[in-house]
Structure 1
């Protein structure tokens, strides 16, 4: 079990730091998407504007508004309060233009799952 813990720990750290690095490297794509959104609707959603000013603490929060329409149906509880025009604007973006959002959150989710597995191994089998 110690070997599993020793393998999971660096993988977890690597995935989470990889998600932060990926987000930083793709800040330009976020800005381009926000610019197109602004041209289409004349403003950005409040949660995006607030999250952009939050620095590292809101690194992923600024992209969640754009991620939700990509993974949830219009009738889902997660997007039901979203403006339908915003939903379809984001949903109808070319796949290569929004792929970075899915990759970013996949890395973050992988890191989180590895963290939970790591904690389970540690507290379930190693800690006395």
Structure 2
């Protein structure tokens, strides 16, 4: 079994001091095979922490990330599945899922589209 942690919009330290303790206690290094993050980690220390859980870390850029080197979109393969990854602030909230996926990923082919943007518009 492959265990994938998908998360985003952590906003640490701007909106939260850290991950919730109950959630953090479940994150054991070596158990997770892939970490995918849709952005808004905000600071490098959060990326460093996620790397301690799993070296296979994939991040796309949210509008509040200090590290501007994160890509806007990313496509990756985990097992037999091809995933499209995008934060989502690039799309309008009223777009349908298929329109958002098409606009954000520009004709990339994938089996699942992982996005978030809990910030609202």
TM-score bucket (shorter structure): under 0.3
Larger radius of gyration: 1
What is the TM-score with the length of structure 2 in the denominator?
0.25
Return the structure number with greater strand share.
2
Whose relative contact order is higher, 1 or 2, with alpha carbons under 8 Å and at least 6 apart?
1
Return the structure number with greater helix share.
1
